[in-house]
Amino acid sequence: MRRFFIDKKQAEKAEQSGMIVIKGSDVNHIVNVLRMRAGDCILFSATDGREFEAEITVSGPDEVCAEVRNVKLNTTEPAVATVLIQGVPKGDNMVLIKKKSVELGVCGILPVITEHTVVKLSPEDVLKKKTRWQRIAEEAAKQCGRGIIPEVFEPVAFKKAVSQRPEGELKILAYENEENNTLKKVLEKAGGSYRGSVSILIGPEGGFSPEEAEFASGCGFEAVSLGKRILRTETAGIAALAGIRCYFED
Ligand code: SAM
- Cα angle 112, 136, 40 (rounded to 5 degrees) comes to 155
- In whole angstroms, what is the distance from residue 169 CA to residue 17 CA? 40
* Closest C-alpha to ligand 1, atom 12: 233
pLDDT digits (tens, 9 = 90+) for 104-151: 999 999 999 999 988 888 878 888 888 888 999 999 999 999 999 999
Cα angle 91, 92, 98 (rounded to 5 degrees) comes to: 135
Tell whether 151 and 206 lie within a shared domain.
yes
β-pair type (50-59, 64-73): antiparallel
Both 163 and 109 in one domain: the answer is yes
* Strand 108-113 versus strand 151-152 pairing type: parallel
Look at residues 46, 73, 100 and tell me which one is the last residue of a structural domain. 73
Q: What is the pLDDT of residues 12-37, one digit of tens each?
A: 999 999 999 999 889 999 999 999 99
The number of folded domains in the chain is 2
Indicate if 204 and 98 belong to the same structural domain.
yes
Q: Cβ distance 209 to 239 under 8 Å?
A: no
- Round the average pLDDT of the chain to a whole number and report it: 94
CB 76 near ligand 1, within 6 Å? no
pLDDT of residue 118: 82
Do 33 and 105 belong together in one domain?
no
The verdict on 157 and 63 lying in the same domain is no
Ligand 1: distance of its center to the CA of 30 in Å? Answer: 41
Q: How far apart are CA 232 and CA 205, in angstroms?
A: 7
Same domain for 180 and 238, yes or no, is yes
Pairing relation of β-strands 41-46 and 50-59? antiparallel
Last residue of a domain, one of 21, 40, 73: 73
167 & 217 share domain: yes
Ligand 1: distance of its center to the CA of 122 in Å?
Answer: 26
- Residue 231 vs residues 204, 219, 224, 235: alpha-carbon distances, Å: 11, 24, 13, 6
Give kind and range of the element (H or E) at residue 152: strand 151-152
Which residues are CB-contacts of 203 (< 8 A; sequence separation ≥ 6)? 87, 114, 116, 174, 175, 212, 233, 236
Ligand 1 contact via 234 beta carbon (within 6 Å): no
Residues in the chain: 250
Q: Are residues 222 and 111 in the same domain?
A: yes
Question: Are residue 24 and residue 136 in the same domain, yes or no?
Answer: no
Distance 97 CA to ligand 1 centre (A): 15
Alpha helices for 1-44 (secondary structure H) = 8-17, 25-28
pLDDT digits 0-9 by tens, 159-208:
999 999 999 999 999 999 999 999 999 999 999 999 999 999 999 999 99
| pLDDT for the residue 122 | 82
Query: Does the beta carbon of 137 sit less than 6 angstroms from any atom of ligand 1?
Result: no
Torsion from C-alpha of 162, 244, 167, 159, nearest 10 degrees: 0
Burial of 47 (0-12, 13-18, 19+ CB in 10 A): middle
Q: Say if ligand 1 is within 6 A of residue 227 CB.
A: yes
Domain boundary among 73, 108, 135: 73
User: Residue 187's domain spans which residues?
Assistant: 82-248
